[in-house]
């Protein structure tokens, strides 16, 4: 085996190579010169060399393969060589995966099949029509008489009257060169034209159309029609059969041309594929072209006979006549059963045909429609249908309503209705009728299945007062109605919730004038969240001073004005537990104790007292001022206590500068102590005071200075303690 004769499959080639190498006499490269046994190293090199060459060969072959195939196509022979392989491949595909083959063929074959089916039906119709024309028509009789008169056969006369050949000339044209290979023309046609030139131009025209509209060259140009002349072209792989027709093209001619083209290609395929300008070999294909010009039945000369239509439609008419009564009966029966199924109080269990007659069985409420009446309406005779209905009590709303009407016998002023499977009674009636109806319904159905709330007693005055009472209750805050209606004695009943702060229902009832024994009331106490009631409750609970404006808006308790600190603290605590109050708003509420505290502090801190130099006493003329200071201190103590605030009053000493800072500090300290002693003598609680020396620093109060050498001052600062 030579390296180039190996398979292109590397794996297979490798195995072949291995097989070769296993035989020590078949490969020199794998044999050592000493003992003829291949060494492992030489075998590996040999395999690698073979593998490399196989891959190189595959690459080289793939490069030249497309060109080689193209050359084979030009020189011929490839088709014949590939035919068995392609046939086998198609056979395998059709066996293994026929679906893919079908999908590939369907686009072209499907359309062709439809066309073929339609053409076959049309052809059958034409044949029937033609037969009828000859044998069952006035025209047929005329043709028979003409045949007798002229001595011609009937067929000849029929042919004369029905057939013609509008094909004037037929050509076999070489597709690639556009040259006329063969032509045929009818005897009546004179041919002054040079058909070689015309054929060339026809080919050029096809090329022009294909180029202009970007059509594939395989897309055939089938007809060209100009006025009364039609050019019919049937394209084959190498040649086209083209014909000149007078008048419109008929499908039969296309079929003939197609047939002729196929036969010519079958018989002259070699001559066509190797055509080099010599047309002599195609002289023998003239009969195929002649066949395209044979007479054909002209449909324009064959009127469509009414008899034909009748004959073709007759089977359908017979079929319809035979089946129509059954169909009508079936449809009517179906409609009757559907009608019954829709009817309340009727349940169809079974129906059908038995012994050639309809039967139906089911359940029927006595209040439901009569099935026999419906049977007559549907067009049946009751005696023709076997009907069997068992009585039952229907649960449909319509039947329940009918049953209630029969049971209650309501007056015209009462309207009965079924809403969500609940029987509702509305309107006015006498107290006795209402009582009787309630008793009947309670015996008949469950309590939650009927509603008499919409009923009112036909006593117009009491009804009006009752409605006014209900309206008052609705308007009154703190009252909430849960149910209302009429009891078994025909009295008005009302059940609800009442806030103790709201007006009493009895008071409201009294306003309406309705007697209290006409109304049965049940009120449970509750705390209403209504803002008006919430405000009442807040006012009741907090008892605000007159200076406070109280209101509840959107669940917020607003307190405005001024109030002492203890009351504000109480309001803040209690407001959290008032129903209907979510929060408290006091931004516009002034705390009077806090205000007094600030005022007292301001007055105290404005004081500056002058003391004598060298003596622990006030300079003359400040006694009243001192008295006022003690009053302000008392006020401060009161206000601080009401606000829960502790404080200290810082007594600050100031002295004119002596030049020595330490001395100044000591002198100022002495002044503060002296003033505290003064206050102590006036029975002030000294625990409230503290002292501070500010040396020669003057008080931070407008106008107070230490300019004179004997200036000795005290001032005050109130310190609030946390």
Name the site residues for other proteins (rule: CB under 8 A): 174, 176-180, 193-194, 196-198, 200-201, 204-205, 207-208, 210-211, 217, 276-280
Cα–Cα distances (Å) from 333 to 184, 339, 358, 382, 618, in that order, read 70, 10, 8, 13, 131
Minimum CB separation from other proteins for residue 232, in Å? 20
Minimum CB separation from other proteins for residue 183, in Å? 12
CB 246 within 8 A of CB 296: no
Q: Give residue for tokens 């040259």.
A: 179
Closer residue to other proteins, CB minimum distance, 281 or 344: 281
R_g of the chain computed on alpha carbons: 63
Minimum CB separation from other proteins for residue 194, in Å? 6
Residue 387's CB: how many other CB atoms inside 10 A? 16
Minimum CB separation from other proteins for residue 191, in Å? 13
Minimum CB separation from other proteins for residue 235, in Å? 14
Minimum CB separation from other proteins for residue 165, in Å? 26
CB 288 within 8 A of CB 260: yes
Minimum CB separation from other proteins for residue 289, in Å? 17
Residue 429's CB: how many other CB atoms inside 10 A? 24
Closer residue to other proteins, CB minimum distance, 174 or 652: 174
Closer residue to other proteins, CB minimum distance, 204 or 327: 204
Strands of 176-271, DSSP E: 180-185, 223-226, 229-235, 239-246
Q: First vs last Cα of the chain: how many Å apart? A: 116
Residue 580's CB: how many other CB atoms inside 10 A? 20
Which is nearest to 206 in space by CA: 183, 180, 235? 235
| β pairing state of 519-525 and 548-553 | unpaired
Minimum CB separation from other proteins for residue 226, in Å? 15
Closer residue to other proteins, CB minimum distance, 177 or 436: 177
Which is nearest to 714 in space by CA: 680, 649, 668, 658? 668
Minimum CB separation from other proteins for residue 278, in Å? 6
| β pairing state of 385-391 and 357-364 | parallel
Closer residue to other proteins, CB minimum distance, 174 or 364: 174
Q: Give residue for tokens 């946390």.
A: 722
What CA–CA distance (Å, rounded) separates 70 from 73?
5
What CA–CA distance (Å, rounded) separates 227 from 215?
25
Q: What angle do CA 112, 114, 117 make, to 5 degrees?
A: 110
What CA–CA distance (Å, rounded) separates 656 from 663?
11
What CA–CA distance (Å, rounded) separates 464 from 517?
16
What CA–CA distance (Å, rounded) separates 610 from 622?
8
Closer residue to other proteins, CB minimum distance, 168 or 539: 168
Residues in the chain: 722
Closer residue to other proteins, CB minimum distance, 272 or 559: 272
Minimum CB separation from other proteins for residue 277, in Å? 4
Closer residue to other proteins, CB minimum distance, 289 or 578: 289
Minimum CB separation from other proteins for residue 230, in Å? 20
Closer residue to other proteins, CB minimum distance, 211 or 439: 211
Closer residue to other proteins, CB minimum distance, 193 or 516: 193
Closer residue to other proteins, CB minimum distance, 275 or 492: 275
């Amino acid at each position: 085996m030579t390296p180039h004769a190996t398979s292109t499959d590397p794996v297979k080639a490798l195995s072949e190579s291995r097989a070769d190498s296993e035989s020590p006499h078949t490969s020199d490269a794998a044999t050592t010169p000493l003992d003829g046994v291949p060494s492992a190293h030489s075998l590996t090199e040999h395999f690698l060399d073979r593998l490399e060459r196989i891959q190189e060969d595959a690459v080289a072959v793939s490069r030249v393969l497309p060109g080689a195939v193209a050359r084979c196509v030009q020189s011929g022979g490839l088709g014949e060589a590939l035919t068995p392989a392609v046939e086998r491949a198609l056979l395998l595909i059709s066996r293994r995966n026929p679906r893919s083959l079908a999908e590939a063929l369907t686009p072209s074959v499907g359309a062709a099949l439809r066309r073929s089916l339609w053409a076959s039906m049309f052809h059958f119709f034409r044949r029937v029509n033609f037969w009828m024309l000859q044998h069952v028509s006035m025209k047929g009789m005329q043709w028979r008489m003409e045949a007798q008169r002229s001595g011609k056969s009937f067929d000849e006369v029929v042919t004369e009257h029905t057939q013609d050949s509008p094909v004037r000339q037929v050509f076999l044209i070489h597709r690639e060169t556009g040259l006329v290979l063969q032509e045929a023309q009818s005897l009546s046609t004179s041919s002054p034209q040079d058909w070689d030139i015309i054929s060339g131009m026809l080919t050029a025209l096809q090329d022009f159309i294909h180029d202009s509209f970007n059509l594939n060259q395989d897309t055939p140009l089938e007809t060209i029609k100009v006025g009364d002349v039609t050019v019919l072209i049937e394209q084959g792989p190498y040649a086209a059969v083209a014909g000149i027709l007078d008048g419109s093209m008929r499908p039969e001619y296309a079929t003939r041309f197609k047939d002729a083209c196929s036969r010519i290609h079958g018989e002259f395929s070699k001559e066509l594929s190797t055509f080099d300008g010599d047309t002599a070999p195609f002289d023998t294909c003239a009969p195929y072209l002649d066949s395209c010009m044979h007479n054909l039945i002209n449909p324009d000369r064959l009127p469509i006979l009414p008899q034909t239509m009748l004959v073709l439609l007759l089977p359908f008419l017979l079929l319809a006549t035979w089946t129509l009564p059954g169909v009508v009966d079936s449809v009517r029966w179906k409609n009757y059963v559907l009608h019954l199924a829709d009817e309340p109080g009727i349940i169809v269990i079974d129906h059908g045909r038995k012994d050639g007659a309809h039967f139906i069985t089911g359940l029927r409420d006595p209040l439901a429609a009569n099935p026999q009446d419906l049977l007559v309406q549907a067009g049946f005779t009751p005696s023709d249908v076997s009907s069997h209905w068992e009585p039952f009590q229907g649960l449909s709303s319509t039947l329940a309503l009918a049953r209630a009407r029969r049971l209650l016998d309501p007056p015209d002023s009462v309207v009965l209705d079924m809403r969500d499977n609940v029987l509702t009674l509305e309107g006015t009636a006498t107290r006795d009728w209402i009582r009787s109806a309630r008793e009947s319904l309670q015996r008949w159905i469950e309590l939650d299945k009927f509603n008499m709330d919409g009923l009112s007693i036909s006593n117009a005055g009491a009804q009006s007062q009752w409605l006014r009472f209900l309206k008052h209750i609705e308007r009154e805050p703190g009252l909430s109605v849960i149910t209302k209606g009429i009891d078994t004695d025909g009295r008005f009943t009302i059940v609800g919730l009442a806030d103790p702060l709201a007006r009493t229902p009895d008071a409201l009832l009294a306003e309406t004038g309705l007697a209290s024994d006409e109304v049965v009331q049940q009120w449970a106490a509750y705390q209403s969240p209504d803002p008006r009631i919430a405000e009442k409750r807040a006012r009741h609970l907090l008892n605000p001073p007159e200076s406070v404006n109280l209101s509840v808006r959107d669940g917020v308790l607003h307190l405005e004005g001024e109030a002492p600190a203890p009351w504000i603290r109480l309001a803040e605590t209690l407001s959290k537990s008032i129903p209907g109050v979510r929060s408290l708003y006091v931004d516009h509420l002034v705390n009077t104790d806090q205000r007094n505290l600030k005022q007292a502090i301001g007055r105290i801190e404005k004081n500056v007292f002058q003391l004598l130099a060298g003596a622990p006493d006030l300079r003359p003329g400040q006694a009243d001022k001192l008295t006022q200071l003690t009053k302000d201190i008392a006020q401060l103590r009161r206000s601080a206590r009401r606000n829960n605030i502790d404080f200290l009053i810082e007594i600050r000493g100031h002295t004119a500068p002596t030049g020595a800072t330490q001395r100044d500090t000591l002198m100022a300290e002495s002044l503060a102590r002296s003033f505290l002693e003064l206050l102590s003598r006036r029975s002030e609680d000294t625990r409230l005071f503290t002292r501070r020396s500010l040396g020669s620093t003057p008080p931070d109060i407008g106008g107070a200075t230490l300019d004179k050498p004997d200036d000795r001052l005290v001032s005050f600062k109130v310190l609030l303690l946390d």
